[in-house]
Structure 1
Amino acid sequence: MFSKSNLLATLAASVVMFLLGYLIWGIATVDFYESHTLNNIAKDPMNIPLIFLGNLIAAFAMSTLYGKWARGAHSIKEGFEFGALIGLLIGFGIYLVMYATTDMLDLTGHIVEGIIDVVYYGIGGVVIAIVYKATAPKSS
């Protein structure tokens, strides 16, 4: 669980997901979400260190699961598929339940969030796969 590959993949994915998250939710989709928010519950200012910690924990969980799931097949395709499945779980599984139980976003907002999550976590999976491949023992 605390292998060199897992820890390096966790660190790399944490940084990429943190920065990508800022680009996606902090810049690119701000106006979209403002127009699809039913009840604004966002903190102002946000707690940036906790956001990074959340990304670190998510990246560690993803990297640990990926290490068991990939079984040595480390490729961009495998990484994206793995991450996209995580994004499907979070973006559609959890957020559609949230839509059914809360008044945070309208349905369009939740569907777009699901699509974004599939891509976002897919990219996180790619980073993890690349690091696992780069740190895998070399065959003789």
Structure 2
Amino acid sequence: MVNKNCVLAILASFVTMFVLGYVAYEPLLGGFFADNAGTATGVIKEAPVFWQIIVGQLCGATLLVCALSWKGVENAADGVKGGALVGLLLSLYFGFMNLGTMNTSTMNAALVDAVVSVVLWGVAG
């Protein structure tokens, strides 16, 4: 059920994921991920399409809030643990699926992304 608290939780998670995601993936680890790109070329856009990033982040925040709601999370500590677990599993899922099917990343990048996702999704939870 969508109510005011659910919408506020989604917005708070979205803002957290958007801001921390930018900081983590651009200034902090942008060079690392550039150095650990796979052999595919021309896959990174010169200018990001922010409306698409916003839609993706809103979907991720909604997924997180739904998962934590279904789990019955009622305090911050459980939100951090649940968010971290969801982030870890999603990151490993996409990371290993991409490693197995495309040349856009390396194992190091997939594993570092999983660690970053644990932090981002944990804080957002």
TM-score by length of 1: 0.81
Matches within 5 A, 1:34-73: 34-38=34-38, 39-40=40-41, 41-70=43-72, 73=73
Taking only aligned residues, the RMSD between alpha carbons, in angstroms, comes to 1.3
Paired AA for residue 98 in structure 1? N
Give percent identity, aligned residues only: 25
Partner of 1:75: 75
For residues 12-49 of structure 1, what are the alpha-carbon distances to aligned partners after superposition, in whole Å with 9 as ceiling and x for unaligned?
11111111111011211011011111234111211112
Whose Rg is larger? 1
Partner of 1:22: 22
Query: How much does 1:65 deviate?
Result: 2.1
User: Number of paired residues?
Assistant: 123
Paired AA for residue 49 in structure 2? N
Structure 2 unaligned runs (5+)?
none
TM-score by length of 2: 0.90
Partner Cα separation in structure 2 for residue 47 and residue 12 of structure 1: 22
Partner Cα separation in structure 2 for residue 65 and residue 90 of structure 1: 12
Paired AA for residue 86 in structure 1? V
Q: Are 2:87 and 1:87 aligned? A: yes
